[in-house]
Copies of this chain bind each other. A is one copy, B any other.
Amino acid sequence: MIKLKYHVFVCTSCRINGQQKGLCYSKDSVDIVQKFIEEIEDCELSGEVMITNTGCFGICEKGPVAVVYPEGVWYGNLTEEDVEKIVEQHLIQGVPVEELRI
């Protein structure tokens, strides 16, 4: 049975018809996904943390958006620096980054 410590979902505006248009995508959310993947590898968290890109969450004006489960903590307006903070503080230390929550 699959058991992760954290599962991070990042909107990259991918549609079920295969198109990719949308605010998160236009706000460079693909760079946010790649930054998460790099940080997870650098911090050797690959076995316990999964990063998954998604379709629209419906809160495009707050993009780029990510949500971290199991807690269901939503983050918005993300930059690559914010990703570093989320990995260090939330995924390693277990403390959500309050100032980035939406």
Q: Is the CB of B57 within 8 A of A55?
A: no
Closest B residue by C-beta to A2: B74
Question: Does A79 touch B at the CB level, under 8 Å?
Answer: no
Known: A18-B14, A74-B2. A7 touches B52 (CB 8 A): no
**Number of copies of this protein chain within its complex:** 2
Contact, CB under 8 Å: A72 / B72: no
B14 x A72 contact (CB < 8 A): no
Residue from B17, B18, B54, B72 in contact with A69 in the complex, judged by beta carbons closer than 8 Å: B72
- Place the interface of chain A in its size category: 20 to 34
Q: Within 8 Å CB of A55, what residues of B? A: 12, 14, 52-54
Report Cα–Cα, A18/B19, bound state, in Å: 6
Q: Which of A1-33 contact B (CB under 8 A)?
A: 1-4, 7, 9, 12, 14-20, 30, 33
Q: Are A18 and B18 in contact (CB under 8 A)?
A: yes
Q: Enumerate chain B residues within 8 angstroms of A47, measured Cβ to Cβ.
A: none
